[in-house]
Structure 1
Amino acid sequence: MSQPPPQPPLLADEALMHAYAAGDVRAFEQLYDRHHLRVWRYLYRGVRDSATADELAQDVWFKVARHADQYTPHAAAPGRPRARFTTWLFTLAHHRMVDHLRIARPATSLDQPLAKTELTLADTLAAPSGFGPVRRIENRQQAQQLLAALDALSPEQRDTFLLQAEGGLSVADIAAATGVGTETAKSRLRYARAALRRTLEDMA
């Protein structure tokens, strides 16, 4: 029996971004498919409103499309490693969310249904995600408790945690994206993780 032809290797995000800048529309579609849910979750957990998250995510992807030719390694100094596409993407998402929150921060109940999925915020947190400690959550009630703990963090601590959890950014990347020193970013992340860890321990 003949074997199916081997699939071509998946291109790295950075290669796809440069391919799109060179005119390959399918490269943008692949990037969007890979990352749009992570970007949306990051924005939604920051603004707590699904319609607003939709709007902000659309703005972010429009900016990615408009500025594809400006995507660079961000090599401010010779020999500095090239920034990952996800670092650039979530930096754009962070800045767009900050701009929005300067105007208004909607207060949304944990039990408000999401327009797209009919799930509540607690349901989405209990579902599989890159949220780190959430993988230990077993039911919706526990997810609500952890969400309350997340919401009790300062906006800066919550944003730092989400940039790492959803965006996979390093401490150095988070510091660059948010315009603070590395030690400040590290301190915010440490505090957020400690607070959420205490909540998880209380659930045990």
Structure 2
Amino acid sequence: MLAFEMLYRRHRGTLYRFLLRSLRQRADADELFQETWSRAVAARERYRVEAKFTTWLLQIAHNLVIDRFRRARPQASAEEAELVFTQLDAPEGEQPDRVLSEFEQRRRLQIALEDLPEEQRVTFLLRMENGLGLEEIAEVTGAGRETVKSRLRYALARIRARFET
């Protein structure tokens, strides 16, 4: 039980951020967060010690996200995305214009992420937010290393293009 608590504390933030960014709706992320941990516990005998636990956990979550999209792809409104960012606490003492500028940048990034094709968005999130390497992303998504590399390159190009306009 102690081992599970340690794993849960260490990986809950990473898992939840991945699910929230992938699904874009807090209720769906909450549901799949619980389901991912349930499946991880149920499949604990299949975990290979040579694999990173984060990669294995995110692979379970990714499969659940794909299943969810196959059933019915949810659409987040701009207001819902904005609500997530407005709930983030700004450090005390920051200038209001700087906070607004950072909020605008986060909002533009959120919109750019929403506009990415699903495979590119997942690849980008796994790399940039979770720090996974190309091989680990390939393992999580079931895609080849070169495919992952291409998806990441296209995602970065689209995001850069969005910020240039």
CA contact (8 A) 1:175 1:181 kept: yes
Instruction: Tell me which of 77, 84, 104 is aligned to 1:141.
Output: 104
Whether 2:3 is the aligned partner of 1:27: answer: yes
| Pairing of 1:31-70 with structure 2 (within 5 A) | 31-70=7-46
Secondary structure of the residue aligned to 2:80 is coil
Partner of residue 155, structure 2: 192
CA contact (8 A) 1:164 1:174 kept: yes
Query: TM-score when scaled to structure 1?
Result: 0.69
Whether 2:71 is the aligned partner of 1:103: answer: yes
Q: Percent identity?
A: 43
Query: In structure 2, do the counterparts of structure 1 residues 87 and 65 end up closer, same or farther at CA, with 3 Å as the change threshold?
Result: same
- Displacement of 1:68 after TM fit? 1.7
What code does the residue aligned with 1:49 have? Q
For structure 1, the 5+ residue unaligned runs are 1-24, 74-81, 114-118, 129-136
Structure with bigger RCO (C-alpha 8 Å, 6+ apart): 2
| Pair member with larger Rg | 1
- Displacement of 1:120 after TM fit? 1.9
What code does the residue aligned with 2:74 have? P
What code does the residue aligned with 1:163 have? L
For structure 2, the 5+ residue unaligned runs are 92-99
Partner of residue 118, structure 2: 155
CA contact (8 A) 2:55 2:139 kept: no
**Distance (whole Å) between structure 2 residues aligned to residue 148 and residue 122 of structure 1:** 12
**Distance (whole Å) between structure 1 residues aligned to residue 68 and residue 89 of structure 2:** 27
Question: 1:39-97 CA distances to partner (integer Å, 9 max, x unpaired)?
Answer: 11111111111011000010000111122222114xxxxxxxx2211111111111111
Secondary structure of the residue aligned to 2:125 is helix
Whether 2:115 is the aligned partner of 1:165: answer: no
Partner of residue 94, structure 1: 62
**Equivalent residues, number:** 157
By percentage of residues, which structure has more helix?
A: 2
Question: 1:5-34 CA distances to partner (integer Å, 9 max, x unpaired)?
Answer: xxxxxxxxxxxxxxxxxxxx0111111111
Partner of residue 11, structure 1: none
**RMSD, matched Cα:** 2.4
